[in-house]
């Protein structure tokens, strides 16, 4: 495979893209772990998500429509 006179630029471009994609993946994984830790800490304090609290307070078999939430 001959990349010609622009081989250095092509290889460098692919390398930079690879580093950026790997960095973004790591950022998402690390952020997810932080968010889960924060949610667990809030749950330990007794604070829950509002959607989960609403579902727990509704009578059994009752479904809220999207129009009712708006």
- Which pLDDT belongs to residue 57? 66
Domain assignment of residue 3, yes or no: no
The model's pTM is 0.58
Domain span at 30: 21-56
Domain assignment of residue 32, yes or no: yes
Query: Longest Cα pair distance anywhere in the chain, in angstroms?
Result: 71
Per-residue pLDDT of the chain (70 residues; tens, 9 = 90+): 788 899 999 999 999 999 999 999 999 999 999 999 999 999 999 988 776 656 666 666 666 555 555 5
Domain total of the chain: 1
35 within 8 A of 42, measured Cβ to Cβ: no
What value, to the nearest 5°, has the Cα angle with vertex 51 and ends 47 and 58?
A: 105
Domain assignment of residue 63, yes or no: no
Domain assignment of residue 1, yes or no: no
Domain assignment of residue 61, yes or no: no
Domain assignment of residue 52, yes or no: yes
């Amino acid at each position: 495979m001959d990349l010609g006179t622009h081989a250095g630029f092509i290889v460098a471009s692919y390398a930079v893209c690879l580093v950026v994609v790997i960095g973004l993946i790591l950022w998402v994984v690390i952020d997810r772990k932080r968010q889960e830790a924060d949610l667990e800490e809030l749950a330990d304090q007794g604070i829950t998500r509002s959607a989960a609290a609403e579902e727990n307070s509704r009578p059994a078999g009752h479904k809220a429509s999207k129009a009712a939430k708006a």
